[in-house]
Structure 1
Amino acid sequence: MSHSKKASIFNKDIERTTWHDETLWFVRQKRDKMAYVIPEFQQLRDLASQIKEHTLSQLDEYLLEFERNALKNGVHVHWAADAKEHNEIVLKILKKHKAKKIVKSKSMLTEECHLNPFLQQHAIKVVDTDLGERIIQLRDEAPSHIVLPAIHLKKEDVGETFHQHLNTPKGEKDPQRLTEAARQHLREKFVQADAALTGVNFAIAETGSVVVCTNEGNADLGVNLAKVHIACMGFEKIIPRFNDLSVFTRLLARSATGQPITTYTSHFTKPRPGAEMHVVIVDNGRTQQLGREDFYNSLKCIRCGACMNTCPVYRRSGGHSYNFTVPGPIGSILSPNLDLKKHSSLPFASTLCGSCTEVCPVKIDIHVQLYKWRQQIGESNALPMSKKLSMKVMSKVLASSKLFSFSGKMGRTMIKWLPYSMTHNKSVNPWAKARELPEVPEHSFREWYKQNK
């Protein structure tokens, strides 16, 4: 199903759509207020972009440096070419330790690799411990946002979910009581877990450490209670030096949620005595994206979600309409790299207003890349037939001044004389669902100019 069709389903609930839009714009405003508290914010963005540019240009060297230092620290390092290999490596580690229950903090990579259903097929119980992730796991849904995974839900939805699965009172919607119920439920899971799995926000080549940022402390609790820690990362998470980290930590939370810094910024360098630590470094299409001259710098992304919070299309269509692990503008750049045909509608799910580029903390030219993907999709014959034919007709009209003038005259005449039921028919003119057509001018500008010089 295309993005527009899925978005139309989300838009049927007008109240929810409006609330979703306003909530995310509120987060965007928080970002703006917090960003400009520090005068050097734009310089930090420049520096972060330059560090990432440098890292991507010497990625092989920094990944190998990270591996050497991690091995010195007693960490096991694994390399996975794709999602299948990543899942098999994780399963092998868990089987070695006879682990049947694992607690997982937020990890978009494992969502990308569909790790949860894979492990469940092998009789391993996975519990997501981030509150938003746990809510959608109980509902058997995918995240709709990379930072705020349950942003599409209201407190009444959460109350109903917790009533079904955690036996909270029916109709309970007080956020504090619902959070307390989740806390009591998850504490038991932490204590029972055989292994802990985390994502990685940053991996430092100089020290062989991985850094995990959370607001709930769930990653720390899981890692420090379980005897096995598995950290899964896409290879673009690497940064060269420990000193570089401060640039990104000053940008990440400000861009994501309008906080000065995440509540917990945890460094994992070596396993504690009697425990094991594993890092799984994953490609899964990233090498291919790195080789694309027009799109490689999308790998600078630090997964803050700022582009989603500002995007007028994402805010009004919901994350599930993108049908990809990473939704929104950045997801619309990353997804065609993996499956151009399946995700061919996503680069068109944008107004190209440039707001996403404006807020990106590492200065990815998101709207430019969306436009370039559109060109590539057209050249590769991946457009639906209806769009392909309409584009061909439009190109002929726009290429001929006579045809353009004639079409304008015909259009002005038809709009003027056709009945309202035809000009505002939703199937013929979706634009008119929420808008009135402008008043029809008597002449085109070209006609006016000929008369008035």
Structure 2
Amino acid sequence: MTAAFAARVDAALADPVLKIAVERTAGTAEAKRTLAVDAFPDFEAARTRAAAIKDHVVANLGAYLERFEANATAAGATVHWASTAQEACDIVLALCRQAKAKSVARSKSMLGEEIGLPHALAEAGIERIETDLAEHIIQLAGERPSHIIWPAMHKTREQVSALFKASHHAPHEEETIAAMAESARRHLRDAMLGADVGISGANFLVADTGAVCTVTNEGNAELSLVPPRMHIVTAGIEKIVPSMPHAVHLLRMLSRSATGAPLSQYTTFYTGPRRPGDRDGPAEMHIVLVDNGRTRMRREGLAEMLRCIRCGACMNHCVVFRQIGGHAYGGTYPGPMGAVLTPAIDGLAASRDLPNACTLNGKCQEVCPVRIPLPTLLRGWREKSWREGLEPASVRSGLALWAWFARRPRLYRAATATALKSARLMGGGWLSRLPLAGGWTRHRDMPAPAPKSFMDQYRQGRRR
């Protein structure tokens, strides 16, 4: 484990407030998803169809992207192509300068975070107004998102209250969620409506109409994208779907998996800029289609990851994420999906810790609405890290020692029995300290091992 990752994990495990904040949101999301899925007839068949839709698109990506570009252009939008994060930011900044923009209103977009758009806007001297409530919170705090659906899930309502009182021009007086939301509304509304440019991501891009779909629960996308004279969309090329029926099917999967709701409160399809006779809408609409490693992922055995619809269910059910939160992962995308995506985006050498932080219990794959085999993909990164010699000498030596014992069954059983007896001498049901297990016992007690090894219990069970 690298020092940077270990330090982030230690800081997260030592923060009791973080654990409370993560459990409040992730625990609620897990419970609501269970209820939503139970009420969805043939949910498993719907997952299979969703995966098939995404696989079909990825296999025919070029054709659908060309169809989308043609239809979006026919509707009056201008489509731009960006191979890298830098190219995408350069295109957005050029458009903002073209519009002589002093401020932009931004609707939450993880693709924007991935390409570093907030930093690019700041360096260009353009004021950025985050219109999503959670993004507004982390912008005030000077932090990065810790979750792709709830970017500020690491903050308790008490922390948010203190932040608003220190930052808002007319902060709340009552300590209620409604009063805090009203404080944010007063602070943001005029800035949103007065922005020169609106910037959004896209949940889906509809090939046969050229439409862009955004999904929010606050209506902030509509308020920040319709009034400005220019609307800029940044979207990964994998967001394409063939038609509206396909988009609707995936929307049903997205909402239930993300928030446990049958449908998000605001689902909007934008097709081109304002036309003659329209009462509102931007005068210009630009769509920046971003690759940033996606075609390489398809080529190098990670095509199944391109199914991802960014619902966050894998995080909400991940035992590791629930302990350390999102910031400990260090990249744009946390949790199981982040542990697959970050090595693809940032390189395996810089992020090999993430695949190794997974327990491979399979819960993420079990809840994924598009059946991404996340444990398999994570094992693939582990194998590549081993083949390329990225694992430290201590790990390679430790595994070599284990393999030496494993090839000698009698010696292995004797060593296991000795270890079990030694561990039982150290305490009862829980161990507060254990040699070579300091990473565990530094922050929590470790369950004492069973009286018999797994193989002993297995043999005993077979004799019954």
SS of structure 1 residue aligned to 2:76 = coil
Residues of 1 paired with 2:432 and 2:189: CA distance? 59
The answer to whether the 8 A contact 2:258-2:313 is kept is yes
Is it true that 1:341 corresponds to 2:349 in the alignment? yes
- Alignment-mate amino acid for residue 362 of structure 2: G
Asked if the contact 1:159/1:171 (under 8 Å) is kept, the reply is no
CA drift at 1:37 = 1.2
Is it true that 1:405 corresponds to 2:413 in the alignment? yes
Q: Distance in 1 between matches of 2:164 and 2:356?
A: 37
Q: Report the CA distance between 1:21 and its aligned residue.
A: 2.6
Q: Secondary structure at the match of 1:152?
A: coil
- Aligned pair in 2 of structure 1 residues 168, 435: CA closer, same or farther (>3 Å)? farther
Q: 1:350 maps to what in 2?
A: 358
Identify the range of structure 1 (149-158 vs 368-377) with the bigger mean alpha-carbon deviation: 368-377
Bigger drift between 98-107 and 422-431 goes to 422-431
Looking at structure 1, the residues matched to 388 and 436 of structure 2 have their Cα atoms a distance apart, in angstroms, of 33
SS of equivalent residue, structure 1 residue 99? coil
Distance 1:198 1:428 in 2: 41
Equivalent of 1:246 in 242, 245, 248: 248
What residue in structure 1 maps to residue 279 of structure 2? none
Contact 1:35 1:41 in 2 (8 A): yes
Q: What letter matches 1:363 in structure 2? A: R
Structure-2 separation of matches of 1:38 and 1:288: 36
Question: 1:289: which partner in 2?
Answer: 297
Query: Is 2:417–2:453's contact at 8 Å kept on the other side of the alignment?
Result: no
Aligned to 2:325: 318
Question: What residue number does 2:198 align with?
Answer: 196
1:388 alignment partner AA: R
Task: Please give the alpha-carbon distance, in whole angstroms, between the structure 2 residues aligned to 1:271 and 1:254.
Answer: 31
How much has 1:73 moved relative to structure 2? 1.0
Query: What is the Cα deviation at residue 402 of structure 1?
Result: 4.0
Shift, 1:16, TM fit: 3.6
* 1:355 Cα deviation from its structure 2 partner: 1.0
- Letter aligned with residue 10 of structure 1: A
1:153-192 correspondence to structure 2 within 5 Å: 153-167=155-169, 173-192=175-194
Whole-angstrom distance in 2 between the partners of 1:171 and 1:414: 58
For residue 335 of structure 1, report the CA deviation from its aligned partner. 1.0
Task: Give the structure-2-normalised TM-score.
Answer: 0.91
Which of 140, 143, 154 is the aligned partner of 1:141? 143
Alignment check: 8 A CA contact 1:213 1:262 kept = yes
Of the three residues 118, 123, 126, the one matched with 1:121 is 123
Residues 1:330 and 2:337 aligned together:
yes
* Worse-matched range after superposition: 228-237 or 284-293: 284-293
Residues in 2 aligned to 1:439 and 1:46: alpha-carbon distance in whole angstroms = 39
Question: For residues 338-383 of structure 1, what are the alpha-carbon distances to aligned partners after superposition, in whole Å with 9 as ceiling and x for unaligned?
Answer: 2101110111222211111111111111122112221121111122
Equivalent of 1:396, from 399, 404, 407? Answer: 404
TM-score (norm 1): 0.93
In the TM superposition, residue 415 of structure 1 has moved relative to its aligned partner by 4.0
Once the two structures are TM-superposed, the CA of residue 416 in structure 1 deviates from its matched residue by 6.0
Change (3 A) 1:392 1:171: farther
CA distance in 2, matches of 1:355, 1:136: 29
Following the alignment from structure 1 to structure 2, what is the Cα–Cα distance between the partners of residues 24 and 214?
18
* CA offset digits 1:229-279 (Å, max 9, x no partner): 001100000011122111011111110001110111111111004700000
Mapped partners of 2:394, 2:136: distance in 1: 41
Corresponding position of 1:38: 40
**CA spacing shift, 1:377–1:430, aligned 2, 3 Å:** farther
Residue of structure 2 in register with 1:227 after alignment: 229
Asked if 1 retains the 8 angstrom alpha-carbon contact of 2:432 and 2:444, the reply is no
2:368 maps to 1:366: no
Count of paired positions: 449
| SS, match of residue 382 in structure 1 | coil
RMSD between superposed Cα atoms in Å: 2.5
User: 1-side partners of 2:46 and 2:453: how far apart?
Assistant: 53
Code of the aligned partner of 1:30: K
Give 5+ residue unaligned stretches, structure 2.
276-281
Residue aligning to 1:278: 286
Alignment partner of 2:34: what SS?
helix
Q: Structure 1: state its 5+ residue gaps.
A: none
User: What displacement does 1:388 show?
Assistant: 2.3
Q: Which residue of 2 aligns with 1:74?
A: 76
Q: Secondary structure at the match of 1:266?
A: strand
Q: 1:197 to 1:423 in 2, by over 3 A?
A: closer
Identity of aligned residues (%): 36
Q: Report the CA distance shift for 1:171/1:387 in structure 2 as closer, same or farther (over 3 A).
A: farther
Task: Give the conservation status (yes or no) of the 8 Å contact 1:156–1:172.
Answer: no
Structure 2 contact 424–448 (Cα < 8 Å) conserved: no
